[in-house]
Chain A
Amino acid sequence: MPADRTQQQVLLREYLPIRAKILEIAAALDRMDRAGQPLAEGAQEVDQTRAQLQQALAVLQQAEPSRAERVQQIFSLPYDAHWQEAFGMTCQC
């Protein structure tokens, strides 16, 4: 149930915070680049993490709604419906 606000009203209020947050992300990415090459041990993890961040950033450019939920899923471990069997626990279902 949204309050009665127009897109213009929302944009007017959200523009500066969005701008600031985009700048924070941009600066953090620049910071990573300036830090030099990763150590060999852990380099794969760095690459995977950066890929995850890029994947999440790509969601922001998509027109479909529920971007926040999709970003959350990118940063989430998957769920296995058979976890109780894997744990050797009795399925209560």
Chain B
Amino acid sequence: MVYIDPHIHMVSRTTDDYETLARMGCVAVSEPAFWAGYDRGSALGFRDYFEQLTAFEPQRAAQYHIQHYTWLCINAKEAENVALSREVIAMIPEFLDRPGVLGIGEIGLNKNTRNEATVFLEHLDLAARTGQQVLIHTPHLQDKYQGTRMILDMLTGDRRLKRHRVLVDHVEEHTIRAVLEAGFWAGMTLYPVSKCTPERAVDMVEMYGPERLLVNSAGDWGPSKPTAVPDFIMEMRHRGHDERLIRRMVYENPLEFFRQSRQFVFTPPEAFETTRV
């Protein structure tokens, strides 16, 4: 089955991973800008990073017949530095018209601080003014519920935002209902230990249905599994779910969400049902 991973950080993965993803049926990836594991020293560091995301990474992905899309922002962790954040936000518009740039992301909260919230709102303002979609990171572990509620407060407080164009990612059992009921898209991240498992993600599909729901691996430089979406596919099959439902979750839903971006140009795979070897 072909699939799309709507949230994965390929800059931190080797080409071995691209080859594996391609062999497992991945035809496209969406890569939000994120924290590299250390705090960048200047806005110039972000300029180089955005260049890598918008120019180099799509070429690397194309070598494995994977279409690559990206989102731009300063991440929630580095958003604690408001002055740096404002320099980066001012630079983002230079890149918004590049092919494959889908919008602003992954913005969000990390430790739910005032500075993070301030920078989050300034990103939302940029997205609203430029008509961009938004991809949002919700915090980890003990901070997730509090941070998600704060994020929803800020999102619902801005009437310029179209809720069906916003993805609130890394939802879990205690945050998914509020996100979906508010009219946003929800992403489930399959991440060892600190986020969700394939089994729990399938539970949430069964409880809430497939409407406005995505699943992703968020593969990055830390403990993560870039092939987690195929794990989800297998769990759905183990439970006897229909292939049409599975295809909706891992292929049609990402397309439905991304098609709302003017820079989303996608070439469907020639043989949709062909299993890649």
Contacts and interface: CB of A to CB of B under 8 A. Distances in A.
A87 interface: yes
A36 interface: no
Interface in B180-212: 200, 203, 205-206, 209
Interface of B is mostly: helix
Contacts of B206: 1-3
Contact of A87 (B117, B149, B156, B200): B117
B153 A93 contact: yes
B256 to A, nearest CB: 19
B157 A72 contact: no
A77 B113 CA distance: 13
Interface stretch (A23-31, A39-47, A78-86): A78-86
A92 interface: yes
Interface string A50-74: 0000000000000000101100110
B183 to A, nearest CB: 16
A13 B150 CA distance: 38
Contact of B173 (A3, A72, A77, A79): A72
A5 interface: yes
A66 B204 CA distance: 11
Interface residues of A, number: 25
Contacts of A88: 114
B145 A68 contact: no
A87 B114 contact: yes
A5 B174 contact: no
B144 interface: yes
Interface in B128-178: 141-146, 149-150, 153-154, 156-158, 172-174
A68 B200 contact: yes
Given A87-B117, A91-B157, A76 B238 contact: no
A37 B153 CA distance: 44
A20 interface: no
8 closest A-B pairs by CB = A92-B157, A72-B174, A76-B145, A3-B240, A69-B173, A79-B149, A87-B114, A68-B173
Interface of A: 1-5, 13, 66, 68-69, 72-73, 75-80, 83-84, 87-89, 91-93
23 contacts: A1-B209, A3-B239, A5-B240, A69-B174, A72-B174, A75-B141, A76-B144, A76-B145, A76-B174, A77-B143, A78-B146, A79-B145, A79-B150, A83-B112, A83-B150, A88-B114, A89-B114, A89-B121, A91-B157, A92-B153, A92-B158, A93-B153, A93-B157
Given A3-B241, A79-B149, 5 more contacts: A69-B174, A73-B145, A73-B174, A77-B145, A92-B158
